[in-house]
Structure 1
Amino acid sequence: MAPDGPTVTRSTLRQQIADALRDEILSGRLTPGQEFTVKEIADGYGVSATPVREALVDLTAQGLLDSAQHRGFRVHEYSLADHRAMIEARSLVADGIFRGLAESAPQNPATFEALAGVRRRGEEAARAATAGDLNVLIGYDLRFWRELSALFGNPYLSDFFHRLRVQSWMYTVPHLRRAGELRGRLWAGHCELVDALTARDPRGAHAIIAAYNADSLALVERITGERTL
């Protein structure tokens, strides 16, 4: 297998390979359950096996890959129940972030000034969502949430939240790509959320995310024909 990813240079090779393979997974070019070896990836990118193996181990630790004994690696397969659990975890983390941002505003107004930059990312994500452009949406959506969670000032929490976002997209992407036209069917409330946070309204932000989660889960359930208890 030779991925159609970007050309990889020698600098930060391990991270570049991991990022490229993550993009392959989120784009749907590497599908759930698909198996490959270190050699196949190394040959595809024209690099040695060592940084590839390191990158694959990193992605395994992040829950994106499984180590297939004697066969290499395979793309992890998440279930609808897994996805629901991810949404619940995301909601708990997001509520903590929203409350923290609201409480820190009087002491650190610069935090809320930084929301203007996050809002610009949200505008791009919202435009892509409205147009049904999944490829563009995923990139901007991940960046939007990464920058928003970073304002909380806890890199461990931000990294955990980003991992949940990636895993959620990893589950939904194959289903959304089978759903046909996505125009108007994807969440585009990024700016509405930033406006609620700028107004120091964590309850309003919670309501926006609760509606987003319910609508997103309902969409996946309609596409898959499955429901979780």
Structure 2
Amino acid sequence: MTESTDSIHQIPVATDTCKQRLDLQTQVQADFFAALEAELRSLVYDRLLVCRKRIFTDTIQLFRARLAKYVSAIGLCLSVVLISLDGSTMHGIRVDLLLFFLFSVAFFCTWDTDRFLKTQEKIILPYWRRIANLSAAKILKAPKKVLPFTAEYQFRDDVVSCYRINTNGNRLAWSKALEGWYFSGQHVTMLFKKKTSIHPYLLIMHEAPQELALYLDALSLQCIDSIQAT
């Protein structure tokens, strides 16, 4: 995954026949990039939570918690029966006592469903935060290597070309067709193939999103009002 997150292919831009055009320049210094990276981490994290909530609805989460509780209770009862029958040993270990211990712990952890769900969230959320940080770092890997630079975006109808200008000259970084959905943040606008996509296929750095948002609206791209889970 890069700043332009699909495989990069150059798209010819016919500037003489363009009906719509927009040129944007963004000065990407170290402080701006740090703020952008922090924002992107937060946005990707929120996007992951939206996806998780869409797949694992509250009803499914509650069902799984209750299922774990009842399975633990049944296992605990069966282990008590095994103990009453003197159980069996395996490699010198009392299997019935081991099962009793394991199911007792599981039953204790799952008995209070609300507490179980809250504990599960505390354990899982740092994992998603880590995934979001790694994803953001991968997206920004290429532009980070050429800091500081000026990002120049040339929009010609539904095609945008990004040039990175620094002491080494002016280089075409990528050129992509615009489609799908977009979300405008403070320092970055992300474009998605689908409204439910987790990762953007395109990322545009900016200091003010209003002008870009108007351009994308004119192309009939759909705006995602909120990227957070509700």
TM-score where L is the length of structure 1: 0.22
Q: Bigger relative contact order, structure 1 or 2, given CA contacts below 8 A and separation 6+?
A: 2
TM-score where L is the length of structure 2: 0.22
Larger radius of gyration: 2
Higher strand share: 2
